[in-house]
Amino acid sequence: MTFINRRIIKRPTLFATSRRNFGNLLTHYETGQDGTTPDPDPTPDPVTFTTSWSTNGGIVEANLTGISSHRTTEVIVLTRSNGTVLATLDENKVGDWDLQHDEGTGYGSYTYNIRLDGVIKSTFSRDYQPNVPSFTTNFFSNSAKTISCGVENITNPSGLFTVQLARIDGAVLDSHVLNDATSFFLQFTELDYGTYDYQVLLNDTQVATHQHIFVRPEPTFTTSGRNLVSRFLPTYQVLLAHTPTFTRIFVEMTERLLRRTSSKQVKRQHRFHLPRQIMELLPTS
């Protein structure tokens, strides 16, 4: 017979957990197997970031900084004010990213938005216009009564700008559209000699002025009576008719220079041009 010493056999150690708590632990452990619904997860933090804007010519750029690290499928887009999508940031991208769009030559006023899952987070507006062209001008005249203006060293050409040669009152004499940077000339021929004022306009804005004097040339003649009458008399007809001293001198010159030409022939060919004083004083033979 075996005797067991009760002091040797130790009482087993038990957890100090109530039956109810033990049952709750089992319930959580067996979630999904006994038809019970687990407590819902807390609402995730919203995706956040900051936005700054910049432009460079036709390009508008939205700089997104500090996009939350837990972003997954949230949609971040660059749009127009009417919702048209211009650029989209790929899913799961976090940290710092840029979204941009180039308007090209589509000049005008625009409003842009950054949207997160359709909600506007930032707005930016701008008036996009081409850079104003610049150029140099050079006025000159290579022929009688014709003014010319050379336009060269052109920068920022644009078909939206026109260079005009005009009078000071705004009357346009010649024009050229700045489609490219090729140099060109503006020209105009006046009807008479005299002093004239001009201006160069860029889309109706004055960029240069110039005054030019077209000097009436002195009369020229040879010993040929026919050349003298045809070139000298028409120009000075009024002076001959109203200046007796000038008439006397001219008659003396005419008598000397027309010796080789028949006076009757002169009268017949130029009877509408010779002043009365000359007609009376010329020999009749």
Residue 43 or 80, more confident = 80
Q: Tell me which residue of 244, 214, 219, 215 sits closest to 230, measured CA to CA.
A: 219
Q: Which two tokens stand for residue 256?
A: 């000397």
Query: Could you tell me the CA-to-CA distances from 76 to 53, 111, 119, 197 in Å, in that order?
Result: 15, 17, 9, 60
Instruction: Indicate whether 33 belongs to any domain.
Output: no
The answer, yes or no, to whether residue 153 has pLDDT greater than 70, is: yes
Q: At which of 128, 159, 188 does a domain end?
A: 128
Determine what percent of the chain is predicted with pLDDT higher than 70. 62
- Residues 159, 123 within the same domain: no
Provide the pLDDT for residue 26. 46
CA 262 to chain centre: 69
Average pLDDT score over residue span 250-258: 63
Q: Do 154 and 124 share a structural domain?
A: no
Confidence category of residue 116, pLDDT binned at 50, 70, 90: very high
Same domain, 66 and 124: yes
Last residue within a domain, chosen from 128, 159, 187:
128
Same domain, 122 and 165: no
**Residue 138 sits in the same domain as residue 206:** yes
pLDDT greater at residue 259 or residue 185: 185
| Together in a domain, 108 and 59 | yes
Q: What average pLDDT does range 205-222 have in this prediction? A: 87
For 216-231, the pLDDT digits (tens) are: 988 765 545 455 445 5
The pLDDT of residue 79: 97
> Long-range pairs for 234-238 at CB < 8 Å and ≥24 separation?
234/273, 237/273, 237/275
- Whether residues 148 and 90 share a domain: the answer is no
Q: How far is CA 56 from the centre of its chain?
A: 14
Of 242, 243, 237, 221, the C-alpha closest to 274 is: 237
Examine the fold and report which residue of 170, 193, 214 is the final residue of a domain before the chain moves on. 214
Residues 6 or more apart whose CB falls under 8 angstroms from that of 31 comprise: 38
**pLDDT for the residue 253:** 65
Say if 112 falls within a structural domain.
yes
Which of these ranges, 19-33, 60-74, 187-201, 246-260, has the smallest mean pLDDT?
Answer: 19-33
Which CATH number fits the domain that encloses residue 62?
A: 2.60.40.2060
Res 170: pLDDT:
93
Average pLDDT over residues 238-252: 58
Mean per-residue pLDDT over the chain, rounded: 78
Comparing 225 with 107, the larger pLDDT belongs to 107
Q: Are residues 229 and 181 in the same domain?
A: no
The total number of structural domains that make up the chain:
3
Residues 193 and 231 in one domain: no
Give 260-269 pLDDT, tens digit per residue. 555 555 545 5
Are 109 and 161 within one domain?
no
Give yes or no: residues 117 and 152 share one domain.
Answer: no
Is 4 a domain residue?
no
Asked if pLDDT for residue 172 goes beyond 70, the answer is yes
User: Does residue 124 fall inside a structural domain?
Assistant: yes
Q: SS3 of 55, please?
A: strand
Closest CA to 266 of 219, 275, 236: 275
- Cα-Cα end-to-end distance for the chain: 191
Sheet harboring 108-116: ordered strands across?
85-89, 76-80, 108-116, 119-128
pLDDT of residue 210: 97
Domain range enclosing 116 = 50-128
Whether the per-residue pLDDT at 209 is higher than 90: the answer is yes
Name the pLDDT band for 194 (thresholds 50, 70, 90): very high
Rounding to the nearest 10 degrees, give the CA dihedral for residues 150, 197, 178, 189.
-70
